[in-house]
């Protein structure tokens, strides 16, 4: 999970709007890192969607990464309870999904964290470091960690790297908070390598 967190007011770099001005590959390279938000004593950090798999290829054979309409996207984030009272994640909704499934722990225990990520992944439970919103100190939060998965199902539209979707988290005590969750950066090097190969080819002409 990325260690760089952007606040809700972070400016999203979205590649181009004009027809014929950019390629699909250019759009893919606009992936950005997670968002942050607060609800009462709860702090949401590193909120993002997992980078999508390649769905198709361009005429030149380059892979195209995005979430097709009707598919599903996996969320990654950390919820930190900085208070002295337990809370509970009641529901998660998004206008970009027909349904949002939540599996695993829902309790956000006082002075602990709830890590959201893909099922079966060895999630790093270290708290994120944020320049805009400092994480709680070791004195504020214990090392107890819960784990859960959140999946946006039946996507109502295509979602591309560089774009974000609003996701609303509702808690029993802290209430609701909406986070604009961006598509995260790729964990693989394929996009970077392909871009480098393209530049090498261009320089040889």
The residue among 74, 159, 177, 168 whose CA lies nearest residue 123 is 74
Spatial contact of 76 and 116, defined as CB atoms under 8 Å apart: yes
- State how many domains the chain has: 1
pLDDT digits (tens), the chain, 205 positions: 444 334 433 333 333 443 333 334 333 444 557 999 999 999 999 999 999 999 999 999 999 999 999 999 999 999 999 999 999 999 999 999 999 999 999 999 999 999 999 876 554 434 344 333 344 444 445 556 899 999 999 999 999 999 999 999 999 999 999 999 999 999 765 544 444 444 444 444 4
Structure tokens at 71: 């598919």
Residue 198 lies in a domain: no
Query: Does the residue 47 lie in any domain?
Result: yes
Contacts 24+ apart (CB under 8 A), 120-123: 123/1, 123/147
Whether 192 is covered by a domain: the verdict is: no
The answer to whether residue 116 is domain-embedded is: yes
In a domain, residue 156? The reply is: yes
pTM, two decimal places: 0.70
């Amino acid at each position: 999970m990325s260690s760089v967190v952007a606040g809700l007011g972070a400016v999203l770099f979205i590649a181009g709007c004009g027809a014929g001005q950019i390629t699909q590959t250019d759009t893919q390279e606009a992936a950005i890192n997670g968002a942050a938000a607060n609800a009462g004593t709860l702090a949401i950090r590193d909120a993002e969607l997992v980078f999508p798999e390649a769905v198709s290829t361009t005429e030149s054979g380059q892979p195209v990464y995005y979430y097709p309409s009707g598919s599903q996207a996996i969320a990654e984030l950390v919820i930190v309870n900085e208070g002295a009272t337990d809370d509970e994640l009641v529901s998660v909704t998004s206008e970009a999904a027909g349904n949002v499934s939540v599996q695993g722990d829902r309790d956000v225990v006082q002075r602990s964290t709830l890590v959201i990520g893909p099922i079966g992944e060895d999630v790093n439970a270290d708290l994120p470091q944020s320049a805009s919103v400092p994480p709680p100190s070791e004195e504020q939060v214990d090392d107890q960690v819960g784990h859960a998965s959140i999946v946006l199902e039946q996507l109502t539209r295509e979602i591309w790297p560089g774009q974000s979707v609003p996701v609303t988290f509702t808690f029993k005590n802290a209430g609701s908070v909406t986070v604009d969750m961006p598509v995260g950066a790729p964990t693989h090097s394929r996009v970077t390598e392909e871009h480098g190969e393209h530049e090498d080819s261009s320089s040889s002409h």
